[in-house]
Structure 1
Amino acid sequence: MTMKTLRQLTIVTLLCVFCNNNAKTSSDLMSYDLKEILSNLSVQEKIELVTGVGYEYSPKGMTGYTTSIERFGIPHMALLDGPQGIRIDWSKKDFNYSIRPTAFPTATVLASSWDENLVFKVGEGIGKEARHIYADIILGPGINLQRNPLGGRNFEYYSEDPILTGRIGSSMVQGIQSVGVGATLKHFVANNSETNRAALNIIVDEKTLRELYLRGFKIAVQDSQPRAVMTAYNLLNGVHTSQDSKLITQILKKEWGFDGIVMTDWKSGTDPAKQISAGVNLIMPGSSNDRASIKKSLQSGKLRMEQLDRSVKEVLRAALNPLPTLSSYKLSNKENLLKNNRSLARVAAANGMVLLRNKGKKLPLKGNISEIAFFGNGSYHSLISGLGSGRVCSTYRVNIIEGASNFSYGQSKLLEEIMRNYLPKSNPHSVCDYGGGFGQDPELIDERNFSEKEIGLIERQSDAAIITLRRLPGEGKDLSEEDHFEVSQTERSLVRSVSEIYRNKKKPVIVILNVPAPIETESWADFVDAILVSWLGGQEMGNAVFDILTGKQNPSGHLTASWPKKYSELQSAHGFPGIVTSEKLIPIFAGGDMAKPTKIEYLEQDAVGYRDILQSQKSVAYPFGFGLHYTEFELSNMNVKQRPHNVEVSMTITNTGEVSGADVIQVYSVNSDKDDVKYRELKGFRKTDILSPKQSADVTVTIPYRELEIFDNDNGCGWMLEQGSYQFFAAHSSQHIMSSQIIELKGDHSCEKNG
């Protein structure tokens, strides 16, 4: 197919993408055998099938597009960003999109719910919206670990723990694919920092790589069978991930059995031929340079035709064989879909919010509170998402102050006037066209300084104070310790001054943390009555905040990453976000730019997050898995049983408090014959249904032996289950153990190389 023909087809497709036809099904496609198609394709057609059509020929709104070949009935595949919801810029005046997407809470919020069923529903909702604009594959979820709290894309990732990441990621994939849209696990692998990402070399030993950074991907691949996997920008032990045959062919495809499409991240890597030979099936976004390079490599013998054919087959298989769930969802009334998704976004946001502090049980807000003073820019201009490919251009957002109004709370008129004159008239973070959003942050205005006299006058007009602190992350750069983890002097002064004046009048002070990741709390937490982490909670965040503050919903979120007292105490802080290894510039982004090479050595090995804190016995502000409720739960009758394929940990959970609520049970384990209890790791979890006061429920957490295996690299055994006395802990956090029990596991009698 010539590029002229492709352009013509693209234009026709562009005009039809948003028409009222249903998405393509198997019966709509011409019946051809894959081998027959492959044998009749020209070399140029094969090359075009394994490279995207490029930015210039992709329909507006789509992140990527593959080539279609009419004579064989091979359709295009439309790829769309979507880890937090589908990313289309419908505000552009030159194009009319058929749907206004829902900005769901970010990945960290969803994981903080510890609710696999809820995450499935969110995935399903995202998939349905993608169906309405005829997208075939969503580029999400992100399965990388939150290795360091300053990671720029942590908001797109789930946790510092691989088991939690893999389980929540699997639920998201299953939800998206339940309505016939493919999901993509990304970024494979070790994309744990954004600074200089295309020239960044991650140095990590095999055992750590397998047990931490690959483990979440492995779980999600094997449990949810995603349609695609996307490689990362970074290098891994000196090799670009998109050019790493061991990573792609040996581990992903052979050991794990992945049979979907492997695609590159956009303009990643340096050599298309090496990418194809390593096992990549689709080079994105694709360009004439990529196609010319592949053709030249074929002619020189650098790339063999059978290697190209292997990639062509995978693209054909995906293009010609829609997911069997495609017919499960019929395109229905879009307004009803969006209405339901907005309600779901609100529920998901509330379920993922984490209550860190509630001194004197000042929450939920008491009935005598009717007027609230809202301090902090984030109360008025709330952040619902990070920037970059994870950003969603929603039709509206509910700021925190608007959520208060929706619950009929009044506001201090004096403070409202002060902030109205201080802040921009419109929220600069609600628009959809600020410089593309890739690392180009709209300016965050510094917090306003308030005098004690001003605060005193405001206090007289209000019954409570809410202070919102916010942080904005984005793709393409990492956060900084000074500007993001640390609390500024202005912020600390605001918290201290407001707290002293309000608490002297017996009025509650609540801090809302509108943040993507942990921040420092040690210097100011004791001044306030309550702290609620709202995260970047999506377009319904303001309403969800007051669902929690009023007690309409009992908080049930738990942290998916540790909150350290000091950033510098973390082992992962060493060398982050990269150390320059040479002053000589190297090409990045397919030769479109140049950068100095950098590296990060994962010297801490497995001592990441709560593992670091437990093993080194550091004190922590809030431990992994922590979260308060408005009620109390009691655990009893713990019992651990060994089954043929798993271990079952059963227990009874009782709501001993006075209000209904849901609990999160976390199960940690350690081989006591080998390690001290400080080496315990999360192996399973379960969120209960909502329990009424005094109600009990029997809960079983099933742990596959896979989660108990270690990777034996020294003896060349691969994954194996060690013999020993395994102690299992039922807990409310990594440091709050409620009960434990030991059982003997026989383990593997002989080591066997496996993935």
Structure 2
Amino acid sequence: MMKHQDLIGRMTLEEKASLMSGQNFWNTKAIERLGIPSIMLTDGPHGLRKQGGRADHLGLNKSLPATCYPTAATLANSWDKSLIYDVGKDIGKEARSEKVSVLLGPGLNIKRNPLCGRNFEYFSEDPYLTGELASEMVKGIQSNGISACPKHYAVNSQEHMRMTIDEIVDERSLREIYLTGFEKVVKESNPYTIMSSYNKVNGEFANENQYLANDILYSEWGFDGVVVTDWGGNNDRVAGLRAHNQLEMPSTNGITDKEIVNAINEGTLDESILNQAVDHLLSLIFKVHLDDKEPLQVDYNQHHNKAVEAARQSIVLLKNESNILPLKDGKRVAVIGDFAKNPRYQGAGSSLINPYKLSNSLDYLQGSKLNIVGYAQGYKRMGGKSSKLVQEATSLSKSAEVVLLFIGLDESTEAEGVDRNDLKIAHNQLELVESIIQVNDNVVVVLSGGGALELPFADKVKGIIHTYLSGQGGGEAVADILLGNCNPSGKLSETFPLHYSDVPSYSYYPGQQATSEHKEGLFIGYRYYETANVPVRYPFGYGLSYTTFEFSNLMIDKFTVSFDLTNTGEVAGAEIVQLYIEMLDSRIFRARKELKGFDKVYLDPGETKRVTLTLTKRDFSFFNPVINDWEVESGNYKIQIGSSIQEIHMEETVQMDGVSPSIFIKSEFPHYSIADVKQIPDSEFEKILGRRLPSKHWDSNKDLGMNDTINQAQYKNWIGKLFYNSIMFFHFFFKKIGRPLTANNVYFIINMPFRQVDRFTGGKVSKKNVETLLRWINR
């Protein structure tokens, strides 16, 4: 039964179809004669990006000032659900104060590979942690009476070719890894909207994928909200509508509205499907439109303080040899590195926030009781050698007792639309590190960046802290950690490999042309390193403190796990306790252990608290595609309590009743059984996939069509090559003149399918024009 049946009955077919796409870049259409208002959707996810002038999706044009909170990758290191709820609540409040009804976030795709250019927007390599934290963010945002919009559903794992790439993933990995976070969010926090991803999943575009949307999202999980496309993410509008994709954004100036009307008039689309879609959209509009609601006043200073606190709780202390930190009053300290003065605090693209204010560490350190002997830039921010800068920094370092060396990734390396090339810090920065450790034994490295890095100097320096991308208050937060005003409590929500070649998807990532094969299957992040016994630089869940903790008195009563935690040090601090489950002697291939519980516990010196974590039957289960359901394998399971996946302090074995599986048997999968997944034979992957693999390459003999990309034009005739090279010229031009972010955004165009040209230009370049261009290219 539709909620708005009477209202829908008074609409013309054209009016109903018109509601299925935007009025402009950020707003839905209004129908004034029926009292249907327009609502505004705009970018998050770690702050409000509302553009006051010309609109775009890539962060090219400035937005209104807002609080820039730490990114999701940073917040995840806090493992603090209440903190993330509060951040979501603040962001939602700012959105509502600006009459924004739908905030596009959080992002909760799994970090399949550390090179993904958008990993800074995502929480973790682990689906359990991702789902728990994203659920709190959604609850916080929606506490303001607006909608969050978790994204990108689903399996959005790379930026390269993101609008056409076909993510080939087996059903078990899809359920256990890539959908678990979304399932938790839908069931635990009831988001009003969800954004579909650009990519295909097993041959079908996500926004028209009947299995993902109708079968799983709506029928199985009970989602009753609206699915909105990513901006420009529509392929076949009618197929999308059949798959519960109610809203296409941005506006196409009526192009796709006509496609819906024509399909109904021609009898290829039942009008009842359109009516149901309109009903869903109206429910959202009337729930979150803000024109008649009380305006909210935002205390931006209070929000800045929350941003500082969020950064403090999320910074990770990776090394503290000889207790070099915290720094003592009066210590002679040299501050080196451009990031100390000009912080790297967020990623680039649609999440680019115009911060209300911005702090830097240098100012706060100079105002402390340290004896700051000087500051040196040390390196060119965007790369390139400078002997003068290195010499200045090295000379200054000789006069200091401790060197604080601020290094990391620049703005061009982590952005929407382009993946990272490697896990390396720029060569000029590494050269600076080597020069300074030659003249000073007490070096503390302060890292900035949105994810994992190779750290070849880790054994040569005394201290390392990773700030990730800590938002507008990161400068204050970093200073507080270094000075001991705050005890670091962040822990890694992803694994740091020794080398990129150690990553399980190393051989398969990214998919270069037609497909991206997820041959590593379940073995993402720590699931691989732990099972295959591969050494890492820093394990999942790792992070140091200025105090120490003791675990004791473990008790397990069915699904309730409790134990004592004591602060045995001399300063107050927080420990992130982690619960892992390991099955003993499993018949099926599976990860050695999996995270299934956690809590962040704050303790004064000498204080003890009883910690209780609750499990469910699902926590012991694997997904069986044969019965399309979760099953528990009978046997013994270790319940492990630790401070990281490699630091287990207590464990106890419990027995679970269940089934004796007849699928995924180890003997039938020789590589998966030992997590030897970096060179999986096609035949073994096809066995868990249940079908033959499609070709991973473009067919260069085939004429280009509307679903092919501008990138592919380079392989056709001289017209195609000229068209491609003309666009690439601008990429190199912007790089040359020092605008790497704009250069990166050219890849959005290069990877765009031809079908999007008329829609993204609102018909200024018509479909007929595009078809003509394709005929020329295909000659």
Which TM-score band (shorter chain)? 0.7 to 0.9
Per-residue CA deviations over 1:517-566 (Å, capped at 9, x if unaligned) read: 11111x21111110000011000111100111111110000000000001
Alignment equivalent of 1:305, drawn from 246, 255, 271: 271
Q: Which residue number in structure 2 is paired with residue 22 of structure 1? A: none
Deviation at 1:300, TM superposition (A): 2.0
Q: Which residue number in structure 1 is paired with residue 497 of structure 2? A: 564
Q: Which residue number in structure 1 is paired with residue 451 of structure 2? A: 517
Structure 2 SS opposite 1:350: helix
Deviation at 1:90, TM superposition (A): 5.5
Change (3 A) 1:192 1:745: same
Q: Which residue number in structure 2 is paired with residue 400 of structure 1? A: 361
Q: Which residue number in structure 2 is paired with residue 721 of structure 1? A: 632
Deviation at 1:402, TM superposition (A): 2.6
Q: Which residue number in structure 2 is paired with residue 710 of structure 1? A: 622
Deviation at 1:445, TM superposition (A): 4.0
Which residues of 2 match residues 344-363 of structure 1 at below 5 A? 344-363=306-325
Which residues of 2 match residues 601-640 of structure 1 at below 5 A? 601-640=517-556
Contact kept, 8 Å, 1:404 with 1:410, in 2: the verdict is no
User: 2: CA distance between counterparts of 1:239 and 1:92?
Assistant: 33
Deviation at 1:469, TM superposition (A): 1.6
Structure 1 SS opposite 2:248: coil
Per-residue CA deviations over 1:411-433 (Å, capped at 9, x if unaligned) read: 444x54x66xx86xxxxxxxxxx
Deviation at 1:496, TM superposition (A): 2.1
Alignment equivalent of 1:320, drawn from 271, 286, 291: 286
The question of 1:674 aligning with 2:640 is answered no
User: 2: CA distance between counterparts of 1:634 and 1:91?
Assistant: 55
Deviation at 1:180, TM superposition (A): 0.9
User: 1: CA distance between counterparts of 2:313 and 2:369?
Assistant: 22
Structure 2 SS opposite 1:316: helix
User: 2: CA distance between counterparts of 1:719 and 1:533?
Assistant: 38
User: 2: CA distance between counterparts of 1:490 and 1:333?
Assistant: 46
Q: Which residue number in structure 2 is paired with residue 730 of structure 1? A: 641
Q: Which residue number in structure 2 is paired with residue 530 of structure 1? A: 463
The question of 1:501 aligning with 2:423 is answered no
Which residues of 2 match residues 286-297 of structure 1 at below 5 A? 286-287=251-252, 288-297=254-263
Query: What's the % identity of the aligned pairs?
Result: 34
Per-residue CA deviations over 1:49-78 (Å, capped at 9, x if unaligned) read: 1111133xxxxxxxx211122233222121
Structure 2 SS opposite 1:50: coil
User: 1: CA distance between counterparts of 2:329 and 2:476?
Assistant: 18
Deviation at 1:680, TM superposition (A): 0.7
Contact kept, 8 Å, 1:99 with 1:133, in 2: the verdict is no
Letter in 2 for 1:579: Q
Contact kept, 8 Å, 1:650 with 1:701, in 2: the verdict is yes
Q: Which residue number in structure 2 is paired with residue 438 of structure 1? A: none
Alignment equivalent of 2:5, drawn from 8, 17, 35: 35
Alignment equivalent of 1:686, drawn from 599, 605, 612: 599
Q: Which residue number in structure 2 is paired with residue 458 of structure 1? A: 396
User: 2: CA distance between counterparts of 1:184 and 1:452?
Assistant: 46
Structure 1 SS opposite 2:355: coil
For structure 1, the residue ranges without an aligned partner over 5 or more in a row are 1-31, 56-63, 424-442, 581-597
Alignment equivalent of 1:189, drawn from 150, 154, 158: 154
Change (3 A) 1:737 1:177: same
User: 2: CA distance between counterparts of 1:622 and 1:98?
Assistant: 37
Deviation at 1:673, TM superposition (A): 4.4
Change (3 A) 1:330 1:403: farther
Per-residue CA deviations over 1:390-442 (Å, capped at 9, x if unaligned) read: 111113321232332343556444x54x66xx86xxxxxxxxxxxxxxxxxxx
Deviation at 1:457, TM superposition (A): 3.2
Which residues of 2 match residues 78-117 of structure 1 at below 5 A? 78-89=40-51, 100-117=65-82
Contact kept, 8 Å, 1:403 with 1:545, in 2: the verdict is no
Per-residue CA deviations over 1:646-692 (Å, capped at 9, x if unaligned) read: x221110001111110000010002324169961100111111x211
Deviation at 1:501, TM superposition (A): 1.1
Change (3 A) 1:36 1:365: same
Change (3 A) 1:194 1:677: closer
Q: Which residue number in structure 2 is paired with residue 198 of structure 1? A: 163
Letter in 1 for 2:616: P
Contact kept, 8 Å, 2:317 with 2:488, in 1: the verdict is yes
User: 2: CA distance between counterparts of 1:309 and 1:447?
Assistant: 62
Structure 2 SS opposite 1:525: coil
User: 2: CA distance between counterparts of 1:91 and 1:496?
Assistant: 46
Q: Which residue number in structure 2 is paired with residue 227 of structure 1? A: 192
Deviation at 1:326, TM superposition (A): 12
The question of 1:264 aligning with 2:229 is answered yes
User: 1: CA distance between counterparts of 2:591 and 2:8?
Assistant: 56
Change (3 A) 1:549 1:700: same
Letter in 2 for 1:71: R
Q: Which residue number in structure 1 is paired with residue 420 of structure 2? A: 479
Contact kept, 8 Å, 1:52 with 1:66, in 2: the verdict is yes
Deviation at 1:615, TM superposition (A): 1.2
How many residues were matched structurally? 651
Deviation at 1:268, TM superposition (A): 1.0
Contact kept, 8 Å, 1:406 with 1:543, in 2: the verdict is no
Letter in 2 for 1:476: G
User: 2: CA distance between counterparts of 1:99 and 1:66?
Assistant: 20
The question of 1:281 aligning with 2:246 is answered yes
Q: Which residue number in structure 2 is paired with residue 433 of structure 1? A: none
Letter in 2 for 1:126: I
Alignment equivalent of 2:23, drawn from 41, 53, 61: 53
User: 2: CA distance between counterparts of 1:410 and 1:73?
Assistant: 66
Q: Which residue number in structure 1 is paired with residue 768 of structure 2? A: none
Is the deviation greater in 550-559 or in 716-725?
A: 716-725
For structure 2, the residue ranges without an aligned partner over 5 or more in a row are 56-60, 663-779
Structure 2 SS opposite 1:66: coil
Structure 1 SS opposite 2:302: helix
Contact kept, 8 Å, 2:63 with 2:354, in 1: the verdict is no
Change (3 A) 1:451 1:188: closer
Change (3 A) 1:447 1:553: farther
Contact kept, 8 Å, 1:377 with 1:447, in 2: the verdict is no
Which residues of 2 match residues 638-649 of structure 1 at below 5 A? 638-642=554-558, 647-649=559-561
Contact kept, 8 Å, 1:656 with 1:694, in 2: the verdict is yes
User: 1: CA distance between counterparts of 2:335 and 2:128?
Assistant: 39
Structure 2 SS opposite 1:142: coil
Contact kept, 8 Å, 1:720 with 1:747, in 2: the verdict is yes
Change (3 A) 1:36 1:330: closer
Change (3 A) 1:619 1:449: farther
User: 1: CA distance between counterparts of 2:522 and 2:660?
Assistant: 26
User: 2: CA distance between counterparts of 1:65 and 1:451?
Assistant: 48
Contact kept, 8 Å, 1:376 with 1:447, in 2: the verdict is no
User: 1: CA distance between counterparts of 2:595 and 2:264?
Assistant: 48
Structure 1 SS opposite 2:152: strand
Structure 2 SS opposite 1:314: helix
User: 1: CA distance between counterparts of 2:452 and 2:235?
Assistant: 35
Per-residue CA deviations over 1:348-374 (Å, capped at 9, x if unaligned) read: 0011010100000000011231x4322
Q: Which residue number in structure 1 is paired with residue 96 of structure 2? A: 131
Change (3 A) 1:408 1:303: farther
Q: Which residue number in structure 2 is paired with residue 599 of structure 1? A: 515
TM-score (ref. length: structure 2)? 0.80
Alignment equivalent of 1:554, drawn from 480, 487, 490: 487
Contact kept, 8 Å, 1:181 with 1:326, in 2: the verdict is no
Letter in 2 for 1:563: F
Change (3 A) 1:326 1:289: closer
